[in-house]
């Protein structure tokens, strides 16, 4: 038998060593024994990080939905696959069994086909966390269409950019969405976006909030009547191992968001394998990841990883504060959740509410707690451990990225001893390297530098949609023959990794990656703005928040700064979404620049973080005088 389920530390080391020494035979064995293939591969791994070209299981044929649904039907047909918990608890939860999921995915897949969607077509999904979201993702995969899920908190402009970049033929959305006590007009956002998207032929609309909305004749179609008529029999499209499964956009430090392309077989094998081990999942567990399917965490660890293991996966539509801050714990108690996976920002927001909201609930079903998306600070780690885990559920601080597809560095619960703020050890098959700025690998322990991965793992993104050159430049050019993560990390005296944060111009706010360039572009659209620079600064709940330094055009007229602040944040909301709003806006007479005209963000970052006494040498600046003015007026 292969090493599919790791149960002891010695076993971890043994399996890890094997996965590094003989990666091909290691992954081949896992793939062979635990998945359903229509045809086996011709080669396990072909790779070249210089081009870069990576393929896993080349020549194999499969459909991921057969692995996530069909193959469970004989043994787990009546088991709950998706446990839907609505925004309003009074509405009641829904248990969607594997049998029912099979029917609903097939019907949806047939609707897609009837609407002209074929293998390889791109379908944009802009939905709230309702069952139709998971089902439409799987329906695309069933027929070989490439899904591009856009988080339903993005603005119409951000949505349009993503639809056009991958030339989507269809958008799947809903009449609206619930978010706590609010409703959001999703269809209105889609309508606005589509004014600038000529590629979209059809919009399928799910009913969620039952309001009257405008339907564009010929283009927009209600989903329910189409589903009702559709056959529940849809043969899975047989895909090549390396056929794209989905595109998911992530912010870059410059320019357009990057459409990361994940392919079929390697992604399936790695997400399934990591799910099983990182959560120590066993058959009767109820697993809950609080992320949105609009992010990679939801793709890999709400949909594909859990379903490939025949698990019960909870999908929660709402927010942690509605109807009150006890909602998460109410759900844990109600569904006897065994594994709970969330983000540090949620933990900090809940910790701020004290423990009153926890005390009324029975959390004894919990066995594993997870954290993902940003570094977890020591205080939040201990709060989570004491109050939610009651010091008996290990916390897995899992480090990974949209680009990596699956968990890369993480403790394995009950196997790896945890250490607060440390992601601990590389996952099976993952070969991290810490590099210095001159491109040398820092070997041994107690080193700190930039985090790279030096060997391919099965779920690495294969390209950026439509821009392979950018893929090469972003990830494979900083360090020779290595994938560069954009993160800093240290390795301690026992070989544990701690992620120290981004080393580029990406700022993680409440677990969302935000590139500074698109935000600055939005600000610079304001007619009064001459120039702007965004940096991150520490925030109690969000982890990091955004600080904007803005210089205004010299028009001679005086402007009300508070009105300007509101207008600028409105522009950001329109262009990107409310998640990118600035917490602080300081108007300045200039921005510190190098002699070549580059803004010195390092200095601005230090000032925003209240570290202006350690600015270092500023004598090479073109306009040294602005620094003191900025320090004097810091917010
Ligand atoms: O900086 C790291 C941070 O989140 C980045 C990836 O963001 P995204 O592609 O949105 O994927 C998030 C969910 C997988 C990383 O480059 N990050 C993610 N997890 C951790 C983390 N930083 C520290 N500790 C983590 N556990």
Ligand 1 in contact with 251 (CB < 6 A)?
A: no
What is d(CA 112, CA 114) in angstroms, rounded to the nearest whole number?
6
Gap from CA of 382 to ligand 1 centroid (Å): 20
Cα within 13 Å of Cα(414), Cβ side: 14
Q: Which residue puts its alpha carbon closest to atom 11 of ligand 1?
A: 401
* Residue nearest ligand 1's atom 23 by CA: 375
**What is the distance in A from the centroid of ligand 1 to the CA of 400?**
5
C-alpha dist (Å) from residue 375 to 84, 378, 580, 606: 29, 9, 19, 19
398 lines ligand 1 (CB under 6 A): yes
Sheet holding 483-491, edge to edge: 432-435, 447-453, 483-491, 497-502
Structure tokens at 432: 């991290």
Antiparallel, parallel or unpaired: β 463-464 and 497-502: unpaired
Choice from 371, 508, 511, 579 to test ligand 1 binding pocket (greatest atom count within 8 A of CB) = 508
**Cα 487 to averaged position of ligand 1 atoms, centre (Å):** 9
Whether residue 597 has a cis bond before it, omega within 30° of 0: no
Q: Name the residue of 400, 410, 543 to mutate for ligand 1: max ligand atoms within 8 A of Cβ.
A: 400
Q: Does 508 sit in the ligand 1 pocket, CB within 6 Å?
A: yes
Question: Is the Cβ atom of 291 under 6 angstroms away from ligand 1?
Answer: no
Q: Which pair of structure tokens corresponds to residue 570? A: 């409105």
DSSP codes, 448-484: EEEEEE-S--TT---EETT-HHHHHHHHHSSSTTSEE
Q: Whose CA is nearest to atom 2 of ligand 1?
A: 374
Q: Are 269 and 458 in contact (CB under 8 A)?
A: yes
The pLDDT of residue 169: 98
The predicted pLDDT at position 393 comes to 98
**Strands 483-491 and 447-453: what pairing?**
antiparallel
Nearest-atom index, ligand 1, CA of 376: 24
Predicted TM-score (pTM) of this structure: 0.94
Cβ(397)–Cβ(411) under 8 Å?
A: yes
Q: Report the C-alpha gap between 394 and 383 in whole angstroms.
A: 13
- What gap in Å lies between CA 509 and CA 259, rounded to an integer? 20
400 lines ligand 1 (CB under 6 A): yes
The gap from C-alpha 278 to its chain's centroid, in whole angstroms, comes to 17
Can you name the residues that pair with 483 across neighbouring β-strands?
Answer: 453
CB 158 within 8 A of CB 183: no
Residue 592 structure tokens: 């510190």
Question: Consecutive 10-residue runs of the chain (635 residues): their mean pLDDT?
Answer: 85 97 98 98 98 98 98 98 98 98 98 98 98 98 98 95 98 97 97 98 96 94 98 98 98 84 98 98 97 97 98 98 97 98 95 93 98 94 97 98 98 98 98 96 96 98 98 97 96 96 90 90 92 94 95 83 95 94 95 83 92 82 89 92
Name the phi and psi angles at 226, rounded to 5: -70, -40
Residues 6+ apart with CB under 8 A from 456: 45, 47, 49, 54, 56, 483
User: Bridge partners of 447?
Assistant: 491
Atom of ligand 1 nearest to the CA of 499: 23
| End-to-end Cα distance, the chain | 61
- Give the angle 74-77-81 at the CA atoms, nearest 5°: 135
Using a 6 Å cutoff on CB, does residue 375 contact ligand 1?
Answer: yes
- Measured from the CA of 375, which atom of ligand 1 is nearest? 23
**DSSP per residue, 285-329:** -EEEE-S-TTSHHHIIIIIIHHHHTT-EEEEE-S-TTSS-TTHHH
Residue 184 half-sphere exposure toward CB, CA atoms < 13 A: 23
Q: Is 297 in the pocket of ligand 1 (CB under 6 A)?
A: yes
Residue 214 · residue 467 · CB < 8 Å: no
Pairing of β 368-372 and β 395-398: parallel
Q: Which two tokens stand for residue 186?
A: 């999703």
Substitution site in 499, 505, 514, 536 for ligand 1 pocket (most atoms within 8 Å of beta carbon): 499
Cis peptide bond prior to 323, omega within 30° of 0: yes
Q: Which two tokens stand for residue 5?
A: 């389920």
Per-residue exposure over 86-104, b if at least 16 CB sit within 10 Å of its own CB, e if not: bbeeeeebeebbbbbbbbb
Rounded CA-CA distance 109/129 in Å is: 19
User: What is the distance in A from the centroid of ligand 1 to the CA of 299?
Assistant: 15
pLDDT of 593 reads: 87
What's the count of helices (H) and strands (E) in the chain, helices before strands? 21, 30
């Amino acid at each position: 038998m292969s090493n599919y389920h790791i149960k002891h530390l010695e076993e971890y080391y043994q399996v890890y060593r094997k996965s590094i020494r003989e990666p091909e035979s290691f992954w081949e064995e896992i793939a062979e024994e635990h998945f359903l293939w229509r045809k086996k591969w011709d080669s396990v791994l072909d790779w070249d990080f210089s081009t870069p070209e990576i393929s896993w299981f080349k020549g194999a044929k499969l459909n991921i939905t057969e692995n996530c649904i069909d193959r469970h039907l004989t043994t787990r047909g009546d088991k709950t696959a998706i446990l839907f918990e609505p925004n309003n608890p009074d509405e009641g939860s829904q248990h969607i069994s594997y049998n029912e999921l099979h029917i609903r995915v097939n019907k949806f897949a047939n609707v897609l086909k009837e609407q002209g969607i074929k293998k390889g077509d791109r379908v944009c999904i802009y939905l709230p966390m309702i069952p139709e979201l998971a089902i439409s993702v799987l329906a695309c995969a069933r027929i070989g269409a490439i899904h591009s899920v856009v988080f339903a908190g993005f603005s119409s402009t951000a949505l349009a950019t993503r639809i056009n970049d991958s030339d989507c033929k269809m958008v799947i959305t809903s009449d609206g969405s619930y978010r706590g006590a609010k409703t959001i007009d999703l269809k209105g956002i889609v309508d606005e976006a589509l004014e600038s998207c000529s590629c979209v032929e059809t919009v399928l609309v799910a009913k969620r909030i039952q309001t009257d909305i405008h339907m564009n004749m010929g283009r927009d179609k209600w989903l329910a009547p189409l589903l009702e008529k559709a056959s529940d029999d849809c043969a899975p499209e047989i895909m090549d191992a390396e056929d794209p499964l989905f595109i998911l956009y992530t912010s870059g430090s410059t320019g357009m968001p990057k459409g990361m392309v994940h392919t079929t077989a390697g992604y399936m094998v790695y997400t399934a394998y990591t799910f099983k081990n990182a959560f120590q999942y066993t058959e009767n567990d109820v697993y809950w990841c609080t992320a949105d399917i609009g992010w990679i965490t939801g793709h890999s660890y709400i949909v594909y990883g859990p379903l490939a293991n025949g698990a019960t996966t909870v999908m929660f539509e709402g927010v942690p504060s509605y109807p009150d801050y006890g909602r998460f714990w109410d759900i844990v108690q109600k569904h006897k959740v065994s594994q709970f996976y969330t983000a540090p920002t949620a933990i900090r927001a809940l910790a701020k509410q004290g423990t009153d909201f926890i005390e009324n609930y029975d959390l004894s079903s919990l066995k594993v707690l997870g954290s993902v998306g940003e570094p977890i600070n020591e205080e939040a780690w201990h709060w989570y451990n004491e109050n939610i885990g009651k010091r008996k559920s290990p916390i897995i601080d899992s480090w990974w990225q949209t680009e990596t597809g699956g968990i890369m560095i993480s403790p394995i619960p009950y196997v790896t001893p945890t250490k607060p703020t440390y992601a601990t050890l590389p996952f099976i098959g993952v070969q991290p390297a810490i590099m210095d700025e001159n491109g040398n690998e820092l070997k041994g322990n107690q080193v700190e530098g930039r985090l790279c991965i030096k060997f391919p793992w099965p779920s690495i993104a294969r390209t950026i949609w439509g821009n392979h050159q950018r893929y090469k430049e972003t990830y494979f050019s900083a360090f020779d023959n290595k994938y560069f993560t954009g993160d800093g990390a240290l390795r301690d005296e026992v070989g544990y990794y701690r992620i120290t944060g981004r080393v580029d111009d990406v700022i993680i706010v409440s677990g969302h990656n935000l590139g500074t360039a698109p935000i600055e572009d939005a600000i610079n659209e304001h007619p009064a703005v001459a120039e702007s620079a965004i940096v991150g600064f520490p925030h109690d709940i969000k982890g990091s928040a955004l600080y904007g330094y803005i210089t205004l055009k010299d028009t001679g007229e005086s402007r009300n700064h508070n009105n300007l602040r509101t207008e600028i944040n409105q522009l950001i909301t329109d262009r990107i979404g409310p998640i990118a709003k600035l917490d602080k806006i300081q108007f300045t007479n200039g921005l510190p620049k190098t002699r070549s005209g580059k803004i010195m963000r390092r200095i601005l970052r230090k000032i925003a973080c209240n570290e202006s006494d350690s600015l270092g040498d500023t004598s090479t600046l073109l306009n040294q005088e602005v620094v003191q003015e900025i320090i004097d007026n810091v917010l």
